[in-house]
Amino acid sequence: MSSTPQHYDAIIIGAGFGGIRALHEFRKIGLKAHVFEAGTDVGGTWYWNRYPGARTDSEAWCYCYKFDEELLQTWDWKERMPSWKEVFAYLRHVVDKHDLRRDIEFQTRIKSAHFDADAKLWRVTPENGVTYTCQYLISASGVLTVPYMPPFPGLETFKGEVYRSSSWPRHEVNFAGKRVAIVGTGATGVQIIPVVAQVAKHLTVFQRTPNYVMPGRNHFIEEEQRAGIRANYDEMWNWTRTNPFAFPMAPCNQMFDDYTPEQQQRIFDGGWEVGGFRFIFETFADMLVNPGCNEAAAEYIRNKIRAVVKDPKTAELLSPHYQFGLKRPPLGHFYYETFNRSNVSLVSVKDTPIERITPTGVVVDGKEHAADIIIFATGFDGGTGALTSIDLRGREGRLMKDAWADGPRTHMGITVDGFPNLFMISGPQTPFANIPIIIDSVVDWISAVVQKARRDGESVIEATPEGVEGWVQHVQKLFSMTVMDKGDHSVHSWLMGNNIPGKTRSVLFYFGGAPMYFQELDESVDMGFPGFTFTKSTAKPGKTATAT
Ligand code: NA7
C-alpha cells in the first residue's frame, strides 16, 4: 500500500446546498474535487432535520439552484414552502442529474484539517483516521450544523423515548395516545408543535423565551402559478440581486414615518395576509433600523396573539417584549391556534428553569410534568460552530477555535488570515439572507479567485490581516445601525451566538443587505482581489505577491 495520501485539488466538507454547488463548479473549471459528508446521503440540513412539520421558510422557486436552467423548467415544486422531503428529493435529483454522487464520500465526518505551510497543502483527516491532502479546502458545512443540547440533569434516567430535532430518526415516530414534552420554541419547535399536537394525547410545551411567529401561509402550487414562475425566472433572479434578503421581491421603499397610523396598520395587514417573510420584506424598509417602526411591528404581532389565543394568561406568556428581529422570527402554521387546544399546555421556564428530568417526566418549579416522549429542539451553535468544533489549524498550528475566541474574524465571510486556501461557504459574516442565492455568489467568487491564482501560477491564496480587520470593522458598523445591536443583550439569539453558554456575543452576520454584498464581491473580482496575498508556486513559503 502506498504511504502517499490521496490528493485532490479541492476537498469540500458537506454535501448540502453549498457543497453540491461547489462540487459542480469545481468540476466545471477542471478541478479534481472530492466531498466528505457525515450523513448517508446528500441534503445537509434537509438530511438531518427531518422532524414532523420540517419545511423551508423560503418560497420554493427561489430556494433552489440557478445554474441548471433546464431543471428550473422541469422540476415541479409542489408547495410554496416545501417540506424537508421535497427539498431532500430535489437535492438528490440535482446530484444524480449531474452525476455528482461519484465524488461524494458518505458517512465520513471530518475530524481534523491542518495546513502544511511547507508543502502548501491541507492535510484532512476524517474520523476513520485516513489522511487526504488537497490544495483548497472548502468548508460547506452550513450555518446551523452543530446542535446545542443543554445539560439537563437526570436525562439519562428517563424511561420514555427521547428525540432531538436535529438528528431525527428515519423511522416514523408514533405520537398517538402519548404524552409528549417539547423543549424549545424557536423556528424548529414552532414547526413541530402544531403537528404533534394533532395526534398526541397531551403536549406540554416548555418555553423559555417567546418568539414573534409570523404566519407561513404555505399552499400547494397550482399549474397556472407554476407556469408563471417558470416564465419569470430571469426577472426573479434580478430581483434577488436588489432585495436586501436576496428574495425575488421588488425592493420595498416605504418608510414607516411617512405614513399615518391608519395607513401603517393597513400596510402591516397586507404583509400579514400574504404570509411568510413578506411581513418584514414588503411592509417597511426601516423595520430593523427604526425603533418606532420596530415597536409598532412588535405590537402588531402581540395584538394578533391576543386575538387568537383565548386564555389571556397563555397569550401573555406567548407574547415577546424584546425588539422584533433580535431573534430570527419563525414562520408558523396554526402555531398560536394550537394553544387553544385542550390537549396542549404551555409551561414557562423563563423564571423557573427545568430542574431535572425524572424517569417519567420533566420537573419545573417542583412539579413533574409526565411524559412518554421528550423532544429537544434546543438550537445550534450557529455560524461558527461547524468550524470551531473540529481540529482546524492554519499557519503555525493556530486553531480556528482560538482565532475566533472573541467572535469570528473573516474577509468577506469567505476567508480567514492565517488559514490559506481555506474558503467558507455560508461562513460567518456573510449576509443573513436567502441561503442558496448567497451560496451561488460566494461559490462564483471562490471560483474566480481560484481561476485567477491558477492562471497566474500562484499556489497559495490568503487573506491579509488588514483585509480581515477591514471586513470585521465593516460588519460591526453595519450591525451597529440595526435594532439588534441596541437590543436587549440578555435575549438569546443564535444570530449573535449568545444562545450558547460561554460563547461571546458577536456579529455573526453581515447586515448591509445582499445587494451591497454582491457589489462588494463583484468589486473584489474587478479590482484583482484586494486584501489578499498570492504566493507563486515557485516562491519559497512566505514569499508572496500582494494584491493591494
Ligand atoms: P433556536 O431558534 O435557537 O431555538 C432554540 C430553542 O431552545 C429556544 O426556544 C431556546 O430558548 C430553547 N432552549 C435552549 N436551551 C434551553 C434550556 N436550557 N431550557 C429551555 N429552553 C431552551 O433553534 P431552532 O432549531 O428552533 O431554529 C434554528 C434555525 O433553524 C431557525 O432560526 C431557522 O433559521 C432554521 P431561548 O430562546 O434561548 O430562551
What distance in angstroms lies between residue 213's CA and the mean position of ligand 1's atoms?
Answer: 13
What distance in angstroms lies between residue 183's CA and the mean position of ligand 1's atoms?
Answer: 9
Measured from the CA of 379, which atom of ligand 1 is nearest? 23
Torsion over CA of 474, 477, 481 and 484, rounded to 10 degrees?
90
What distance in angstroms lies between residue 524's CA and the mean position of ligand 1's atoms?
Answer: 36
Q: What is the CA radius of gyration of the chain?
A: 24
Strand runs labelled E in 252-359: 331-332, 344-348, 354-358
Which residue lies with its CA nearest to atom 11 of ligand 1? 208
Where do runs of H (alpha helix) occur along 309-412?
A: 312-318, 335-338, 385-388, 400-403
Measured from the CA of 208, which atom of ligand 1 is nearest? 39
Angle in degrees, CA 254, 258, 261, rounded to 5: 105
| pLDDT of 538 | 65
Q: Which set of grid coordinates corresponds to residue 294?
A: 420596530
d(CA 483, CA 485): 5
Measured from the CA of 492, which atom of ligand 1 is nearest? 38
Pocket test for ligand 1, best of 146, 355, 376, 499 (most atoms within 8 A of CB): 499
* Nearest residue to 376 (alpha-carbon basis) of 158, 183, 185: 183
d(CA 108, CA 103): 13
Pocket test for ligand 1, best of 81, 205, 347, 378 (most atoms within 8 A of CB): 378
- The domain at 7-146+382-546 falls in which architecture? 3-Layer(bba) Sandwich (3.50)
d(CA 440, CA 506): 26
What distance in angstroms lies between residue 331's CA and the mean position of ligand 1's atoms?
Answer: 14
Where do runs of H (alpha helix) occur along 366-464?
A: 385-388, 400-403, 435-455
Which residue lies with its CA nearest to atom 18 of ligand 1? 150
In the chain, what are the domain boundaries? 7-146+382-546, 181-376
Measured from the CA of 150, which atom of ligand 1 is nearest? 18
Which residue lies with its CA nearest to atom 27 of ligand 1? 187
Q: Which set of grid coordinates corresponds to residue 118?
A: 511547507
What distance in angstroms lies between residue 348's CA and the mean position of ligand 1's atoms?
Answer: 14
Length of the chain: 548
What distance in angstroms lies between residue 19's CA and the mean position of ligand 1's atoms?
Answer: 26
| pLDDT of 341 | 98
What distance in angstroms lies between residue 85's CA and the mean position of ligand 1's atoms?
Answer: 23
Pocket test for ligand 1, best of 208, 356, 357 (most atoms within 8 A of CB): 208
What distance in angstroms lies between residue 377's CA and the mean position of ligand 1's atoms?
Answer: 6
| pLDDT of 71 | 97
Which residue lies with its CA nearest to atom 36 of ligand 1? 209
Measured from the CA of 185, which atom of ligand 1 is nearest? 9
What distance in angstroms lies between residue 132's CA and the mean position of ligand 1's atoms?
Answer: 36
What is the spatial order of strands in the sheet that 354-358 belongs to? 354-358, 361-364, 367-370
Which residue lies with its CA nearest to atom 23 of ligand 1? 379
Q: What is the pLDDT of residues 506-543, one digit of tens each?
A: 999 999 999 999 999 999 999 999 999 999 876 444 33
Give ligand 1 pocket residues (Cβ under 6 A).
Answer: 144, 150, 183-189, 206, 208-209, 328, 349, 354, 377-380, 492, 494, 499
What distance in angstroms lies between residue 193's CA and the mean position of ligand 1's atoms?
Answer: 13
Q: Which set of grid coordinates corresponds to residue 495?
A: 444570530
**pTM of the entire predicted model:** 0.95
Pocket test for ligand 1, best of 146, 152, 188 (most atoms within 8 A of CB): 188
What distance in angstroms lies between residue 207's CA and the mean position of ligand 1's atoms?
Answer: 9
Residues of the chain scoring pLDDT < 50: 1, 539-548
Which residue lies with its CA nearest to atom 37 of ligand 1? 209
Which residue lies with its CA nearest to atom 15 of ligand 1? 378
d(CA 395, CA 358): 48
33 torsion bin: left (phi>0), alpha (psi -120 to 50), beta (else): beta
Which residue lies with its CA nearest to atom 20 of ligand 1? 208
Measured from the CA of 354, which atom of ligand 1 is nearest? 19
What distance in angstroms lies between residue 148's CA and the mean position of ligand 1's atoms?
Answer: 9
Which residue lies with its CA nearest to atom 26 of ligand 1? 186
What distance in angstroms lies between residue 467's CA and the mean position of ligand 1's atoms?
Answer: 34
Which residue lies with its CA nearest to atom 3 of ligand 1? 379
Which residue lies with its CA nearest to atom 31 of ligand 1? 187
Which residue lies with its CA nearest to atom 12 of ligand 1? 184
99 torsion bin: left (phi>0), alpha (psi -120 to 50), beta (else): left
